Amino acid sequence: MPSRPTLAHLGRQQEEEAAPFEGGTWKVHVELPDQYPYKSPSIGFVNRIFHPNIDELSGSVCLDVINQTWSPMFDMINIFEVFLPQLLRYPNPTDPLNGEAAALLMREPKSYDAKVKEYVQKYANSDTTNEGGAETEDDDDMSSVASFGDDDDEEPAGKMDDV
């Protein structure tokens, strides 16, 4: 029986250091293989994001711990509270899926930050989240960990300084 894809929101980052991604809300597609937790889940961003280690069109994530060094000791909490926030905070332009983002980050960091902020406004705010990945009827099964927004109603998934 094939595994069923699920959707979740990436946890909220509380600190200013999360800039330029601060204020963005992304839907993250998580597919658990039948062999999970012995085989890593498939992770991808649903709405567009400008990042060296995330394919802009497919949303695929290039993250060593998910792709090559996965261990059954890791779980979904690690992905949402540690791995993905660290990926956003510390992009690796030397191992890119998005060559344009990597080159811009290395050559013109201020221009990179500006383009990331432009994408946050265009594809990852609460008004435009559906444009980057329209919700479907299956989204009723979505579990909301939290968002990168400013809503005080939602509990954060964890503080960045805890990682």
pLDDT for the residue 15: 32
Cα(125)–Cα(26) distance, rounded to whole angstroms? 8
> Taking a C-beta distance cutoff of 8 angstroms, is the pair 51, 91 a contact?
yes
- Start-end of H helices in 31-162: 64-67, 76-78, 84-89, 99-107, 109-123, 129-132
In eight-state DSSP terms, residue 83 is I
pLDDT for the residue 3: 44
Query: 18 pLDDT band (50/70/90 cuts)?
Result: low
pLDDT for the residue 66: 83
Domains parsed from the chain with CATH numbers: 5-133 (3.10.110.10)
pTM above 0.75, yes or no: no
Q: Which of 18, 62, 82, 103 is catalytic?
A: 62
pLDDT in tens, 90-114: 999 998 999 999 999 999 999 999 9
Q: Catalytic: 110? A: no
